[in-house]
Amino acid sequence: MTHVTLTINGEAHQAEVEPRLLLVHFIREVANLTGTHIGCDTTSCGACTVLINGTPAKSCTLLAVQVNGAEIQTVEGLEQNGQLHPIQQGFFEEHGLQCGFCTPGMMLVGKALLEQNPNPSEAEIRRAISGNLCRCTGYVNIVKAIDSAGKKMREPAATGAPTA
Amino acid sequence: MATDVGGYGRSVKRKEDPRFIRGKGNYVDDLKLPGMLYMDIVRSPYAHAKITSIDASKALALPGVLAVITGKDLDAYKLAWMPTLMSDTQMVLPIDRVVYQAQEVAAVIATERYIAADGVALVEVDYEPLPPVVDPYKALDPSSPLVRPDHADKNTNHIWHWESGDKARTDQLFNEAEVVVKEHMYLPRIHVSSIETCGCVASFDRVSGKLTVWMTTQAPHAIRTVFSLVTAASAVGQIPEHKIRIISPDIGGGFGGKVPVYPGYVIATAASVLTGHPVKWIEDRSENLQADSFARDYHMDVELAGKRDGTITALRVKTLADHGSADAAANPSKFPAGLFNVCTGSYAMEAAHVEVDGVYTNKPPGGVAYRCSFRVTEAVHAIERIVDRMAQELKVDPAALRMKNFIPPEKFPYKSPTGWEYDSGNYAGALKLAMEKIGYADLRREQAEKRARGELMGIGICTFTEIVGAGPSNTFDILGIKMFDSAEIRVHPTGSAIVRIGVQSQGQGHETTFAQIVAEELGLPVDNIVVEHGDTDTAPYGLGTYASRSTPTAGAATAMAARKIREKAKAIAAHLLEASPDDIEWGNYQFQVKGAPTRSKTMADVAFAAYTNHPQGMEAGLEAVDYYDPPNLTFPFGAYICIVDIDRGTGEVKIRRFLAVDDCGNIINPMIVEGQIHGGLTMGMAPALLEAITYDENGNIQQGTFMDYLLPTSMETPAWETDKTCTPSPHHPFGAKGVGESATVGAPPAIANAVVDALSHLGVTHLDIPITPWKVHKILEEHGLAEV
């Protein structure tokens, strides 16, 4: 067993884990954050995407021990002080999701893109999400959602947020 | 001025999204119960083999492994076999023989997920390989090995023969025809591959005797009944149906793949009953791709007869259907080939004859939909490709040939030559709009110019008719259970309501659209209405969500239940307004006195009165249930036009534009309908250009992960264009038709027709899907057109 400390959404999670424990299982079953999903086991679908030190990574093919000490962000960390992140607002407003299973990974990739490239073209958005599969939406509204989030982030005005 | 309650035709934002965008969905794998055990499955490396021994001793010696379950163990409880939806049988776990690669052979129950997987690696199974049956045509050869020797009454791999239409008249029309075209078309095996795989958590409470199963299922009520019936026939003893609770929580995509009962569900449930612990089983992607139900696998010989002037007279189709090792298709029981005989499509023709033969092979069982209504995709592919082939033969424009042969609007309701009664349609209207919007004439000119320069551009049309909303109870049932659907509405005293429905969402947005139906019918704001589904302890009995049936069946039930409530509410309103019920009318989402609309009561006023001040002699409360038995199916349709450019260097087909004009009747939520069409188009493009499951001569599957089975990404998927016409269903309570699968059905032939159109001057008349760059490049090479 190996001692692993991960900061997930600003909160430290420590555990003695087997070296073979996948990061996605640490997140889902040790930290009990089930918003990160598993879709393929081969780094193909991106449902398990999280941000590791700000960069998108597929947590189903990383070991928790490999990222010991890292800062991880999951979908649960997007909302801050009761305020949805613009990427969440974008997905809600543009109907960027249907079954919701790929959505956490898509939003994190979208957020990382917009932080690097605040005004991406449609082609750039499509390239950014090309490692994330969605079986429901046909991507059209996901592209719109990320574009809409980009607009919001460029012009940070107060926007209405959906309530639970 | 009318209040906007968020009813029909409004793009209300989805009620389910706030939890999904926060990572707070409740999918099956998110569930963790105290004392929960994990199950993992040992699977066969062979497509056909005798099991000579299973040695679980090393697995059982591993700390944390509690049990290894084999077919012999289940056989002791008479649970080694289970019925399929098509009245065939299928192994839960084999006793002595495996019949497809990746078949379940044994299950390991352990305290942790990783230990269960370790246990699987330690189970030693000895196999004696047998010759596999892979090719369905060879399967019919009497010398072929038998896939199912357990069917003692049969000495063949042939399962059933089914036919429809008028053979004699069809043959006669073919003999008299001035022109006949014919193509062999293969629609390969494909897999729905919802991003969430299948799985369950089964929890049997030994004290109460209650079994609760959280399950990735599209049809929880039917599963409950089947579980009760299966336990009754087992040595476990019947678990009465009131002690079975099936919960289908948030589902990460279904598309037909989550209709069947898979062995894993049954083994996990048996394991929970036997151990008294909750047992979780979640497939990995390879298991999902290799062993779960496939779709399609239809080998079709399609012929069309007509006159030189372009009049289509008859259609003849002969089909070999590869069902794998069991007929585990998810069709209504009386329809072994689903609704395939709707294959005369949108065209008026005198006669048709359709034959399908089902065959066993050593492949996983199935025959589920891939986002379509019971084989309608196969039907539409056959007719839409062969109509294009006829246009090519007659050297006429494929749009013009279609226009000439469409069933005209005044002929509805239209009785098809295979017995369906189409409820409504305006096919020419949809095609005309599509042609105008995309600039059809200009595109044809551009194509001619490009062709002269050696560039390859194609224009493909598909004008399909769907058949959805199963279905009328006189013909539609699943294992005897009639295919009605249901809704229950309770209006609370302060003017909010709860709606429970018999169908179950896998992303379709039912929590929003069903609330909109009630909002419209009762005049209550959509925000005040909550929709629940997927829990058999609370929802009324229904047959589930597939085949685009939710809106045609449970949607209708919801409107009918609301109208029952409105009828009672009217009497209460009359009482409050001190008027006769005959003098009360419903308008502007309120009850008002005829001729004096200022004298009015809202539904909220009435709801409060229903609990505080209802008329003497009237029952208190405001609620209703409706079980809706549709009088007919609904027939949405569309006109799709696809423009492709072919890369002469790589053979790649690039979709430049794709316009989908859909007609699904009246629309509840345009935003959600458009989203369904986008998704359907993408799942239509997938088998047209990318996806197929193939086997080598030993029955080894060649696409076992997403590295080999290619789902469309954002890079290949074009920016879909959509438009609509509206021809309401005349028999549905609010004129809706169902739309979730139209685009999956309509897109593949539009794309295939576009590619064949691009290559037609080279003499190409047909290409089987998926149309891969390799296939196209080979043709380019043959004609010296490949660029190097």
A79, A99, A130 ranked by CB distance to B22: nearest: A79
Q: Is the dihedral of CA B405, B406, B411, B416 positive or negative?
A: positive
Burial B124-133 (b: 16+ CB within 10 A, else e): ebebeebebb
Residue B340 makes CB contacts below 8 A (sequence gap 6+) with B319, B354, B356, B374, B375, B376, B378, B379
B86 Cα distance to chain centroid: 16
- B548-565 tens-digit pLDDT: 999 999 999 999 999 999
- List phi, psi (to 5°) of A98: -125, -75
pLDDT of amino acid B479: 87
Pair A85, A9: CB distance under 8 Å: no
Please say if the pLDDT value at position B13 is more than 60: yes
Closest chain B residue to A40 measured between Cα atoms?
Answer: B285
Q: How far is it, in rounded angstroms, from Cα B570 to Cα B586?
A: 8
- pTM of this prediction? 0.97
Residue whose C-alpha is closest to residue B58's, from B106, B91, B94: B106
Residue whose C-alpha is closest to residue B563's, from B496, B656, B625, B470: B625
Structure tokens at A56: 């998108």
Min Cα–Cα distance to chain A from B286, Å: 8
Q: How far is it, in rounded angstroms, from Cα B52 to Cα B58?
A: 17
Identified catalytic residue from B90, B101, B218, B392? B218
- B130-140 tens-digit pLDDT: 999 999 999 99
Closest chain A residue to B686 measured between Cα atoms?
Answer: A135
Residues of B in contact with A32 (CB under 8 A): 32
Structure tokens at B712: 């469309």
Residue B699 makes CB contacts below 8 A (sequence gap 6+) with B46, B47, B48, B100, B101, B132, B133, B134, B362, B363
Q: How far is it, in rounded angstroms, from Cα B327 to Cα B164?
A: 20
Q: How far is it, in rounded angstroms, from Cα B504 to Cα B236?
A: 29
Q: How far is CA B447 from CA B148, B443, B454, B644, B648, in A?
A: 53, 6, 10, 10, 15
The label of the residue with tokens 């040939």 reads B401
Min Cα–Cα distance to chain B from A104, Å: 6
Calculate helix-pair angle for A103-116, A140-154, nearest 10 degrees: 40
pLDDT of amino acid B2: 56
Please report the DSSP string for B79-110 in residue order: -SEEE-TTS-EEESS-SSEE-STT-EEEEEEE
Contact B719 A95 (CB under 8 A): no
Q: How far is it, in rounded angstroms, from Cα B251 to Cα B498?
A: 21
User: B529-533 and B497-501 as β-strands: parallel, antiparallel, unpaired?
Assistant: parallel
pLDDT of amino acid B366: 85
Q: Which helix (H) or strand (E) holds B156?
A: none
Residues of B in contact with A76 (CB under 8 A): 22-24
Structure tokens at B140: 């019919």
Q: Which helix (H) or strand (E) holds B640?
A: strand B637-646
CB atoms closer than 10 angstroms to residue A164: 6
Instruction: Please tell me what DSSP assigns to residue B774.
Output: H
pLDDT of amino acid B1: 44
Q: Is A81 exposed, middle or buried (0-12, 13-18, 19+ CB in 10 A)?
A: exposed
Q: Is the dihedral of CA B614, B617, B618, B621 positive or negative?
A: positive
Is the bond leading into B413 cis (omega within 30 degrees of zero)?
yes
Identified catalytic residue from B372, B462, B642, B664? B372
A40, A92, A143 ranked by CB distance to B13: nearest: A92
Proportion of chain B above pLDDT 70, given as a percent: 100
Residue A125 makes CB contacts below 8 A (sequence gap 6+) with A110, A113, A143, A146, A147, B714
Instruction: Please tell me what DSSP assigns to residue B689.
Output: I
Please report the DSSP string for B703-762 in residue order: --STTTS----TTTS---EEEE-----SSSTTSB---TTHHHHHHHHHHHHHHHHHHGGG
Instruction: Please tell me what DSSP assigns to residue B280.
Output: E
**B679–A contact, CB cutoff 8 A:** yes
Closest chain A residue to B512 measured between Cα atoms?
Answer: A98
Please report the DSSP string for B241-265 in residue order: GGGEEEE--B-S--TTTTSSPPHHH
Interface test with A, best of B714, B741, B744 (most A CBs within 10 A): B714
Q: Is B518 exposed, middle or buried (0-12, 13-18, 19+ CB in 10 A)?
A: buried
Q: How far is CA B759 from CA B715, B753, B778, B785, in A?
A: 24, 10, 12, 11
Q: How far is it, in rounded angstroms, from Cα B321 to Cα B363?
A: 13
Structure tokens at B679: 């998704």
- B528-551 tens-digit pLDDT: 999 999 999 999 999 999 999 999
Min Cα–Cα distance to chain B from A106, Å: 10
Interface test with A, best of B195, B513, B708 (most A CBs within 10 A): B195
Mean pLDDT of chain B: 97
B30, B285, B506 ranked by CB distance to A42: nearest: B285
Q: What share of chain B is helix, strand, coil (3-state, %, to 5)?
A: 30, 25, 40
pLDDT of amino acid A161: 53
Q: Is B689 exposed, middle or buried (0-12, 13-18, 19+ CB in 10 A)?
A: buried
Q: How far is CA B64 from CA A52, B293, B465, in A?
A: 33, 32, 55
A17 Cα distance to chain centroid: 24
Pair A128, A110: CB distance under 8 Å: yes
- B81-124 tens-digit pLDDT: 999 999 999 999 999 999 999 999 999 999 999 999 999 999 99
Residue B475 carries which side chain, given as an amino acid letter? T
B375 labelled catalytic: no
Pair B622, B607: CB distance under 8 Å: yes
The CA-based diameter of chain B, rounded to the nearest angstrom, is: 89
Give the pLDDT mean for B370-396: 97
pLDDT of amino acid B788: 83
Q: How far is it, in rounded angstroms, from Cα B131 to Cα A128?
A: 47
Query: Among A13-22, A93-102, B223-232, B393-402, which stretch is predicted with the lowest mean pLDDT?
Result: B223-232
Q: What is the ipTM of this complex?
A: 0.97
B633 Cα distance to chain centroid: 15
Three-state SS across B555-600? HHHHHHHHHHHHHHHHHHHHHHHCCCHHHEEEECCEEEECCEEEEE
B372 labelled catalytic: yes
- B614-628 tens-digit pLDDT: 999 999 999 999 999
B451 labelled catalytic: no
Instruction: Please tell me what DSSP assigns to residue B526.
Output: G
Proportion of chain B above pLDDT 90, given as a percent: 98
pLDDT of amino acid A159: 52
Interface test with A, best of B713, B721, B742 (most A CBs within 10 A): B713
Give the pLDDT mean for B338-348: 98
Residue whose C-alpha is closest to residue B511's, from B1, B17, B130: B17
B462 labelled catalytic: no
- A47-90 tens-digit pLDDT: 999 999 999 999 999 999 999 999 999 999 999 999 999 999 99
Structure tokens at B496: 């909010």
Pair B217, B292: CB distance under 8 Å: no
Residue A83 zone, left/alpha/beta (φ > 0; ψ -120 to 50; rest): beta
Min Cα–Cα distance to chain B from A61, Å: 13
Please say if the pLDDT value at position A156 is more than 80: no
